[in-house]
A and B are shown apart, each in its own frame.
Chain A
Amino acid sequence: SQTIHQWPATLVQPVGSPLSLECTVEGTSNPNLYWYRQAAGRGLQLLFYSVGIGQISSEVPQNLSASRPQDRQFILSSKKLLLSDSGFYLCAWSPLGTPNTEAFFGQGTRLTVV
């Protein structure tokens, strides 16, 4: 069966510090991968999505970046965090080329920038 791992679950970082969040998927190949951010009481904002290794689409201009060094690994990074980067970050995967199936979410990372 397929599983998705996302870590850490919670993170408190000072303004200006770097960030690296990692997400890995097991039990499937060539997944679509997504990074979303959810501000308190708000919906999911799509940050990045990837259809393959090294193929990253950025949805929102920001100081965040994403990379996909391996087929089932998706990394969200920042060189210098801002207070506005606080939020609930969710990684998700869906089977490639099958839009009628759901996206499966990781447990999420709650990031607080102080």
Chain B
Amino acid sequence: QKEVEQNSGPLSVPEGAIASLNCTYSDRGSQSFFWYRQYSGKSPELIMFIYSNGDKEDGRFTAQLNKASQYVSLLIRDSQPSDSATYLCAVYTGKLIFGQGTTLQVKP
């Protein structure tokens, strides 16, 4: 079992819709959870981090964490074509482990 799992996609949504990205992790001792965005050929950049159960909102982005289910998600409201990128889930367990990423396509 992979430590951090994501559906590779692509996930295609129309402009203005809500995009929902999901991630599961295997280590129950995981302490912190991160969502990164990566444009083609570029380095990942942080969107949000979350470490407590529940929701955390930042602008159009909402991260959700459920430690009992070992599940973390990212919602993007009012999706824009500029949101088209690969979204990487990362989990800190004493080291930072990434999932394989989900490719999001927002169609105008």
- Partner of A94 from the list B6, B31, B96 (CB cut-off 8 Å) is B96
In the complex, how many angstroms separate the beta carbon of A23 from the nearest chain B beta carbon? 12
**A103 lies within 8 A of B43 (CB):** no
Among A42, A49, A100, A101, contact of B95 (Cβ-Cβ < 8 Å): A49
Chain A residue numbers with a CB within 8 Å of B43 are 90, 105-108
Are B51 and A43 in contact, with the CB atoms below 8 A? no
Query: Contact residue range for chain A?
Result: 20 to 34
A100 with B90: CB separation less than 8 A: no
- Bound state CA distance, A90 and B41, in angstroms? 11
Within 8 A of B (CB), among A43-82: 43-46, 49, 57, 59
Q: Which of A42, A101, A105, A106 contacts B100 (CB 8 A)?
A: A42
Query: Is A27 located at the chain interface by the 8 A CB criterion?
Result: no
Q: How far is the CA of A25 from the CA of B101 in the complex (A)?
A: 26
**Which chain B residues border A57 with CB–CB below 8 Å?**
95
Q: Are A43 and B99 in contact, with the CB atoms below 8 A? A: yes
List of B residues within 8 angstroms of A94 by Cβ: 96
The one of A92, A107, A110 that contacts B96, using a Cβ cutoff of 8 Å: A92
B49 pairs with A43, CB closer than 8 A: no
Q: In the complex the two chains form, what is the Cα distance from A106 to B44 in whole Å?
A: 9
Measured between alpha carbons, how far is A44 from B95 in the docked complex, in Å? 13
Q: A44-B44, A107-B43, A108-B43 are in contact. Are A102 and B34 (CB under 8 A)?
A: yes
User: Which B residues form the contact surface with A (CB < 8 A)?
Assistant: 6, 31-32, 34, 41-46, 49, 51, 88, 90, 92, 95-101
Given contacts A100-B51, A105-B44, 16 further A-B contacts (CB under 8 A): A42-B101, A43-B99, A44-B98, A46-B95, A46-B98, A49-B96, A99-B51, A102-B34, A102-B46, A103-B34, A103-B46, A103-B96, A105-B45, A106-B43, A108-B42, A108-B43
Q: Which residues of A contact B (CB under 8 A)?
A: 34, 36, 42-46, 49, 57, 59, 90, 92, 94, 99-103, 105-108, 110
